[in-house]
Amino acid sequence: MAMKTLFRVHKHGDYWRDFEKFKEVVLDFHDVTTIGQAFADEVFRVFNNQHPEVHLMWVNAHADIEKMIHRALAASANGK
């Protein structure tokens, strides 16, 4: 298992399926103005619950993106 990687978030692709290969993943939201609820849920709730050994981090997130991420994380913490 590799130690850490940086993924540049873009509009297309399900690249998060490779996150399990790493211990730490940094998502770079540079030039991304919004993400959908489904994306936030899939990455920050579903993936996070299925792979608790992988530490997800993010940088350069717009306030609306931060809100979506925190909403998904809260749902994950509440066992949803």
pTM of the model: 0.78
Q: Which residues form the domain of 42? A: 2-77
Number of domains making up the chain: 1
Q: Where are the alpha helices (DSSP H) in the chain?
A: 37-41, 48-50, 63-77
C-alpha separations of 61 from 46, 64, 71 in Å: 20, 8, 14
For the stretch 13-71, pLDDT in tens is: 566 667 888 889 888 898 888 888 988 999 999 998 999 999 999 999 999 999 999 99
Of residues 26 and 10, the one with the higher pLDDT is 26
Q: Report the SS3 class of residue 66.
A: helix
